[in-house]
Structure 1
Amino acid sequence: MDLETVKRRASPREFSPKDDMPEEYRKAATRMIQFHANSEIMGAYLEKPFIRQAPSLDRKLAFSAKVQDEIGHGQLLYRAAENLGVKTREEMLDELADGRGKFLNCFHYPMESWEEVPMIGFFVDGAAMRRQATLKNTSWEPYAHAMDKICFEEGFHIKHGESILAELATGSKAQQERLQEAFEMWWPRILQFFGPTNEASTHHDFAADVGLKTMTNDELRQQFLNAYLPKAERYGLEIPDEPRIRRHDDGRYEVVEEDLDWDEFWTVAKNEYEPGLGQIDAREAAQEAVDWVRESMETPAGGPTPAAAD
């Protein structure tokens, strides 16, 4: 199938592994899905420490389930990417561990306090749902099928994050102050979650032409602002003065893009942000720690054990 045919036929869930897809499509879809899968994995690693730090047994159980879900999402997505025939799952995981794999900006930043938890669990996951809901209509069928399960589970994650947010927002004055501080720190990062403006995006036009994406970064950011700014205010959070947010007469919200630190964003996107390197190193260490498991599973029946091979 040539590229012009792909563009002409592009529609929700149109293409599958049985189709002979052009290289340009396969590479673009692999890049997009691999980025998504990496982000699920790195988000789980960011939140994993809070299983122990959660203040109650119920919260610990909920966090444990969430982290498990996110790892599962990553594996589903690696499989959807692998079906394109460009990279294997092992190659993608190796790239993530050695710093070549890219992932969402929000998961490069360390998360150190319980008050930061709903910044990911409610706001970032809420932003993710805005994007992921549109991906149910992506043209690569295995990706769309994976999104059916992922969106269902992410809906529970957002409710979990909102529950924590509500608890903190109605807690002690000290808790409320720490929550506001966390919100002010994370708010610019959350707004950059959707990526650069339409003019600065290098991949959107092609992805839209072949049906991989159905909405622009700016459209998704606009939807998020319209839905989540009122929610933030309802929980008593004060919207920071910068980046400035304009409210139009028709009720739409708009972020003043030049107020966002896009230099830092691109440093993060290139895996060159110093605090984020610790996240990547932690992933590499985790992968190396279980290498012996993979090696033992790959050893033929009756063959030498990893210890004997050494």
Structure 2
Amino acid sequence: MYAEALKRGEKIFAVAPMIDWTDRHCRYLHRHLSSRALLYTEMVVADAIIHGPRERLLSFSPAEHPVALQLGGSDTGKLSEAIRIAVDYGYDEINLNVGCPSDRVQSGTFGACLMRDAAHVADLVAAMKKVSNVPVTVKCRIGVDDQEPTDVLPDFLARMIGAGADAIWIHARKAWLQGLSPKENREIPPLDYDLVYRMKRENPDVFLGINGGIADLDQAASHLEVMDGVMLGRAAYHNTGLLAGVDELVAGNGSARLTRTADIDWQVLRDTMMAYAENVIASGGRLHHVTRHMVGLFQGFAGARRFRQILSTDATRPGAGIEVIGAAFAAVDIDGGAKKLAG
């Protein structure tokens, strides 16, 4: 996937892995807004795959492709075993988390703290490559704590490339492992896009993607003038409608702003999500498991506030059915909102 993209000069847009957010229901919705976005799972710890409920953790709808599995871990044997198990589920990529700064991840000595031991991460990547039948990639920070990113990041990338990593996604901030919460680690450490750009200039034949602080598709387009890929997280989740412009963006047709929502067949999307939610409920799930990911669909539309209210209240009630989705969509001035955004 990544090697071919480089050869053809194609760009990749990805929705970042986000714990508690990018589950299978979220990804199903996102796929129906963009056919080309690369979607990531939440981070799944290797131990959980080996010892936990594999089907619940790993299964997904075929409609989600291309979808990447992000793994957390620091043991070569466990990561390799987790990949052997995951292979049968048909993921398009396996990604190693070297960027999450949460206390839970640190207690397992993986995530961002692995930035302190690039040699070990290289060993992990090499071991993962041996058992994976799809690209193995890394998502990292530019450094942690008192590390100097201009020293650390070039060495880290060189080791990942030497280990055979197919792509590296770089969150353009340091992570502070003590004193900052995960939320603060997404906001307080300054962004250093220039350093990431420099890494791309120095590694023209390696797929490098950028992440961190990217708010919309106009900014994404600007980054894609330099980088091979761009990854949005919370911006894509909270303003879900912007994903409607991704296909045009990666095809090279300008910035593909949020105005592309005018091209969405909202009736089809409504019916698709109602049918999907009905299947989820029939399988023992709740309506809210699906609708909590839909709240950000109509930013900028008249009626968006009422849409959010319905999904945030009515959909959470015991026994709530798919008619709640219909009522929420009916509260939005879809035609007027699309014209306003296009105007």
Name the TM-score, length of structure 1 as normaliser: 0.25
Q: TM-score, normalised by structure 2?
A: 0.23
Which structure carries more relative contact order (alpha carbon 8 Å, separation 6+)? 1
Q: Normalized per residue, which structure has more helix? A: 1
